[in-house]
Amino acid sequence: MSISSIGGEIALPLSAWYHASKHALEGYSDSLGQEAARSGVRASSPRPRPGRATPSAGSPR
């Protein structure tokens, strides 16, 4: 699993290096997932979104 961001989908001025790296990570994860699927391995690249996080049980508050 690799963590991506919305920066892999959209681009803003003055952040070309950041958006390029996130877009590359998305492509890498997609390709890796297809290659490893035959072995039963899954690859994912979740994109955290803004919002309110819900504390999980047992986490400090």
The number of beta carbons lying within 10 Å of the beta carbon of residue 13 is 5
At residue 13's C-alpha, the angle toward residues 17 and 28, to 5°, is 35
Judge whether 46 and 26 are in contact, CB under 8 Å. no
Q: Could you report the per-residue pLDDT of 20-60, keeping only the tens digit for each? A: 888 888 888 889 889 999 899 888 777 776 666 555 555 55
**What confidence score (pLDDT) does residue 58 get?**
55
Judge whether 45 and 3 are in contact, CB under 8 Å. yes
Question: Domain extents for the chain?
Answer: 6-39
The encoded tokens of residue 50 equal: 């803004």
pTM of the predicted protein model: 0.60
Alpha helices of the chain — where are they, by DSSP H?
A: 16-36
**What confidence score (pLDDT) does residue 55 get?**
55
